Amino acid sequence: MIYHLLLLILIMVITLIYEFGNQTQQNKKNCVIVVTVALTLFSGLRTWWYGDLIRYYTLGYRASMFSSWRDVLFGAGKNHGLNTFFKISTSLGLSYEICLFLIAAFIAITIGVAVYKYSPSPYWSYVMYITMGFFEFTLSGLKQTVAMGFCFIAIHYVFSKKKWKFVLFALLAAVFHAPAAIFLLAYPIAKLNINRKYFVLLAATVVAVFLFRNQIVGFFAEAYYDNSDSFASGSKLVGGRTIMMVFIIIFASFMRTPMYGDKVYSNLFNIMVFAAIIQTFSIYDNNFTRLADYYYVFVLLFFPFVMESGEHQAVAQPERAALIKYNALHFYVLAAVFVSLYSLYYYYRYISDSGIANNFKFCWQINAYELYGK
């Protein structure tokens, strides 16, 4: 656990140096590169003796040594993307440790590029990425990690309105993790116009979800499980994570109204709303949280926009200067202090309950092959 806390503190210090320094594009680029390298080294140099999930993937890696290309590409199963990656790696003589390092670099770089291009604040981007548990999950969920990396590439084409390139990378995400196909909806959802009709439609959608969610869950149960009874009955109205998402959306609406041509922010606002709707179903099964995460992970781009001051927005978008909401500076300061402290508290509680974080080891600290057998 201490390693994770030290990593978070290091990244907070690096990004705060940029925030309180000369905020040029070159300095922002340097900041993101340093953080990307830090995340890659931390994740890429971990031992694969790191919880049941990451050890499970060693079976696919070992099987790829003896499988034909036909079996890898067209055989039964849903992991064709990851198995193909393992097959290429073993054909080139790359070890499982190198595979982990490459995946760590891929997700860190794709996120870094998105933060550099779109985020007004690397500090808030990386605080959200780490404290909300997304980075922690990349340490074990390899399929989802690669799929999420392709989603971060796809989001560029949402913002630039290049739908076929978006579809290509969203489909690549689904090749690695089939449920990532839900991200194909991101393009039309992000492009919804936010106006009065939008909020009326949103209210109707929320009501419909709560009235018919048992039927909706039943549909997904039949599609996802062999036995629909695998989904538990929802014992409560909403989960804690859903409440957090809703709070962020309400806070965002107060801080920065998403109605006046603020295109990237409006796209991200729509994505956050959809994430919260999916998350409401998590009271039945945790797989809905994994589906929601393909949208909710973009909170690392969304929240920096929420915390961007009106003056900073006016510099970035002078054509909207008259439409921007200018909140008092002390309000941003108080909000920043509160969110930072709460994020630290939330992350500490999160990793305290995580067996993976508490058992974290770097590759030189433990010989995984001696424990697992060569």
Kindly indicate the confidence band of residue 197, based on its pLDDT and cuts at 50, 70 and 90: confident
Q: What is the CA radius of gyration of the chain?
A: 21
Instruction: Looking at the structure, tell me whether residues 300 and 236 fall in a common domain.
Output: yes
Q: Residues with Cβ < 8 Å from 55, sequence gap 6 or more?
A: 48, 49, 372
Tell which residue, 52, 59, 53, has the closest CA to residue 77: 59
- Structure token pair of residue 204: 């109707």
pLDDT(15) > 90 = yes
Kindly indicate the confidence band of residue 220, based on its pLDDT and cuts at 50, 70 and 90: low
CA 100 to chain CA centroid, nearest Å: 18
CA 323 to chain CA centroid, nearest Å: 31
Instruction: Looking at the structure, tell me whether residues 68 and 106 fall in a common domain.
Output: yes
Instruction: Looking at the structure, tell me whether residues 266 and 367 fall in a common domain.
Output: no
Best-predicted range by mean pLDDT (49-63, 155-169, 200-214, 307-321): 155-169
Instruction: Looking at the structure, tell me whether residues 209 and 316 fall in a common domain.
Output: yes
Residue in the structure block whose two tokens are 């390298």: 37
288 within domain boundaries: yes
Segments forming the whole domain that contains residue 220:
192-327
258 DSSP 8-state letter = T
Instruction: Looking at the structure, tell me whether residues 286 and 361 fall in a common domain.
Output: no
Instruction: Looking at the structure, tell me whether residues 125 and 230 fall in a common domain.
Output: no
Taking the complete model, does pTM exceed 0.85, yes or no? yes
Query: In terms of C-beta density within 10 A (0-12 exposed, 13-18 middle, 19 or more buried), how is residue 273 classed?
Result: buried
153 within domain boundaries: no
184 within domain boundaries: no
Dihedral-angle region of residue 193 (phi above 0 means left; psi in -120 to 50 means alpha; beta otherwise): beta
pLDDT, tens digit, for every residue of 236-257? 566 778 888 989 999 998 888 8
268 within domain boundaries: yes
Torsion of CA 347, 351, 356, 358, to 10 degrees: 130
Instruction: Looking at the structure, tell me whether residues 284 and 364 fall in a common domain.
Output: no
Instruction: Looking at the structure, tell me whether residues 98 and 2 fall in a common domain.
Output: yes
How large is the angle between the packed helices 52-66 and 80-91, nearest 10 degrees? 60
181 within domain boundaries: no
Measured CA distances, 276 to 89, 126, 229 (Å): 37, 21, 24
Instruction: Looking at the structure, tell me whether residues 225 and 322 fall in a common domain.
Output: yes
Dihedral-angle region of residue 262 (phi above 0 means left; psi in -120 to 50 means alpha; beta otherwise): beta
Instruction: Looking at the structure, tell me whether residues 310 and 369 fall in a common domain.
Output: no
Instruction: Looking at the structure, tell me whether residues 196 and 296 fall in a common domain.
Output: yes
Instruction: Looking at the structure, tell me whether residues 135 and 228 fall in a common domain.
Output: no
Nearest-angstrom CA–CA distance, 222 and 189: 25
